[in-house]
Amino acid sequence: MSYFTEFFKLASDETRLRIIILLAQQELAVCEICGILNISQPKVSKHLAKLRDMNFVVDTRKEKFIFYSLNINNNIIGELVSNIVKDIEEYPQLNEDSIRLKESEVYLKECKTVLND
């Protein structure tokens, strides 16, 4: 029961819910999430740390970036997240995020440019 409680506590924050839904669709680097959600890197990192601490996301280092992916080990929660993604048009903010997700490579390229300067 505590797995459900912790998940819903974390998902009750709009930004964390938006991150969960993005990561259900695609693995992303912090800078991509920042660009898609239009929020600062410290805020994104804080939310990701909470999700990582509860083992709802996992991180993988690739070159200079850390990529995050969703790590839902519960079929009920996994199905809930999948259903939200499947009907994403029903949720205006999540749908807008999903549309911006298609531009994620642009945000990653911008980060690479900044790092190389």
CB-CB contact of 30 with 68 (8 Å): yes
CA distances from 33 to 9, 12, 40, 41, 107 (A): 21, 18, 9, 9, 8
What amino acid is encoded at 82 in this protein?
S
Domain count, the chain: 1
Question: Half-sphere exposure of 29 toward its Cβ, with a 13 Å CA cutoff?
Answer: 18
Q: What percent of the chain lies above the pLDDT cut of 70?
A: 96
What CATH code is carried by the domain that includes residue 26?
A: 1.10.10.10
**Sequence-distant (≥ 6) Cβ neighbours of residue 115 within 8 angstroms:** 64
Residue 106's domain spans which residues? Answer: 2-116
* Closest-CA residue to 94 (of 11, 22, 8, 13): 22
* Mean pLDDT value of segment 98-110: 88
**Sequence-distant (≥ 6) Cβ neighbours of residue 23 within 8 angstroms:** 57, 68, 69, 70
- What does the pLDDT look like over 25-58, one tens digit per residue? 999 999 999 999 999 999 999 999 999 998 899 9
Query: pTM of this prediction?
Result: 0.92
N- to C-terminal Cα separation, the chain: 49
